[in-house]
Structure 1
Amino acid sequence: MHAAAIVAAAGSGSRLGAGLPKALVPLAGRPLVCWAVDTLLDGGVSEVVVVVPAAQRAEFEAVLPRGVAVVDGGASRTASVRAGLAAIGPAATAVLVHDAARPLTPAAVVARVLAALEAGTPAVIPVLPVVDTTVLVDDDGLVTDAVPRAPLRRVQTPQGFDRASLVAAYAALDPGADLTDDAAVVRRAGVPVSTVDGDERCAKVTVAHDLTLAALALTVGESTP
């Protein structure tokens, strides 16, 4: 199996308040996107395409490893993944889609996703259980019901797909649609989505506090024998 990966890195990062695209924000001296690319390659991916804001393309090309393709993103995440799909080489039979904002994703998670695809799963996502009590509220903020936690999962990336299934699902999707993730795209096309174990280290960097926690996690990891 030849696996390619698309890294979604076209977000503005306005909630992070860094004044530059989130994927270029440094963590321990390296842009978040570089951490994401490294974990994909370490996990067994053969080819990486990074989808970036067109205005900052040169900045991304300056920091990414040689051999990583860089393409301009679209106005939405869905449009950006479309652009990444179009740039993948013909040899790829499987495609992973990963968020640049999940810099500390362990390579083992990537390997689990690839193993599921190798075994014939058409679509697979890493997940974690929901541990907090989860409730429904009405428009006034009053609790109306509690949601059973047992069947709930938190969805992470990288999400993996048989290439043909993902391409067909995007071709069938309305051009104006903007779904929250790629698993939603293939599920809309009727493709079953399986799960593998995720990892707490796959946490997404969205606000400044998340970046502080990621830096702390690296420091703790380096000091642990």
Structure 2
Amino acid sequence: MHAVGIVAAAGSGLRLGADRPKALVPLGGRALVCWAVDTLVDGGVRDVVVAVPAAEHAAFATVLPMDVRLVAGGATRTASVRAALAAVGRRADAVLVHDAARPLTPPDLVTRVLDALAAGARAVVPVLSVVDTTVVVDDDGVVADTVDRAVLRRVQTPQGFAREALVDAYAWLPPDAELTDDAAVVRAAGIPVATVAGDERAAKVTVPHDLALAELQVVR
């Protein structure tokens, strides 16, 4: 199976308080995007496309290996993945979409996603159980209901897809649509999404506290 990885790396980094795109923020002396690309490669993906801010192409080219393909991302995550998907060749059987903001994702998580696709899944996402009590609140912030956490899951990346399934789903999606992840895109097109076990190390770096925690986990 020929799998291509897409890394969404066009985010601004405003919530992280950074003076550069979030994917270029250093972790353990290396840009977040470098960690994400290495995760895919070490997990068995040999062809990687990274969606970057158009104005920062040179900065990304400086830190990433020469065999990584760069494309100009869009104003939203959905637009960026759509642009990267257009650069994926027809030789690919599968596409894995990963967030640059999940730098410490272990390679064996990538392998689990690839194995599920090889076994016949058209779409698969890694998930974790919800451990906290989860509630619904009304407009006044008052608890209105408690949700059964046994059926809830936290979704991570990389998310894997049969290439044709993801291409068809994006072709069906309106150009101005913005969904939270690619599993939502294929589900909107009627494609079932399977799950595999996620990993707490695949946590997303969004705010400064997340980056500080990630620094504590980096093996120096």
Structure 1 length as normaliser, TM-score?
A: 0.97
Q: CA deviation at 1:115?
A: 0.2
> Where in structure 1 are there 5+ consecutive unaligned residues?
none
Instruction: Tell me how far 1:69 sits from its aligned partner.
Output: 0.1
Query: Percent identity over the alignment?
Result: 71
Distance 1:89 1:145 in 2: 47
CA distance in 2, matches of 1:118, 1:46: 16
Match of 1:216 in 2: 216
Which residue is equivalent to 1:41?
A: 41
Aligned partner letter, 2:62: A
- Shift of residue 91 of structure 1? 1.6
Partner of 1:2: 2
Alignment of 1:54-65 (within 5 A): 54-65=54-65
Write the letter of the residue equivalent to 2:72.
Answer: D
Count of matched residue positions in the alignment of Structure 1 and Structure 2: 220
> What is the match of residue 101 of structure 1?
101
Moved over 2 A (4+): none
Aligned to 1:183: 183
Equivalent position amino acid for 1:23 in 2: A
Supply the distance in 1 between the matched residues of 2:55 and 2:160 (Cα, whole angstroms): 29
Q: Take 1:42 and 1:66, find their aligned partners in 2: how far apart are those partners? A: 17
- Equivalent residue of 1:108, what SS? helix
Question: 1:89 and 1:168 mapped to 2: Cα distance?
Answer: 14
Aligned mates of 1:97, 1:186 — CA distance in 2: 13
The match for 2:82 is: 82
1:148 and 2:148 matched? yes
Aligned to 2:73: 73
Q: CA deviation at 1:66?
A: 1.8
Quote the Cα distance in structure 2 between the aligned partners of 1:138 and 1:89: 47
Equivalent in the alignment of 1:207: 207
Matching of residues 160-171 of structure 1 within 5 Å: 160-171=160-171
Output the CA distance in 2 between the equivalents of 1:19 and 1:113: 34
Q: Displacement, 1:18? A: 1.3
**Separation of aligned partners in 1, 2:46 and 2:35:** 16
Aligned amino acid, residue 137 of structure 1: V
Report the alpha carbon displacement of residue 217 of structure 1 after superposing the two structures with TM. 1.2
In structure 2, runs of 5+ residues without a counterpart are none
Aligned amino acid, residue 215 of structure 2: A
Which residue identity lines up with residue 28 of structure 1 in the other structure? G
Compute the RMSD of aligned alpha carbons. 0.7
Residue 135 of structure 2 aligns with an amino acid whose one-letter code is V
Corresponding residue of 2:52: 52
CA deviation after TM superposition for structure 1 residue 88, in Å: 1.2
* Paired amino acid for 2:10: A
Aligned counterpart, 2:15:
15
User: Distance between the aligned counterparts of 1:39 and 1:137, measured in 2?
Assistant: 38
Shift of 1:89: 2.3
The Cα shift of 1:196 comes to 0.1
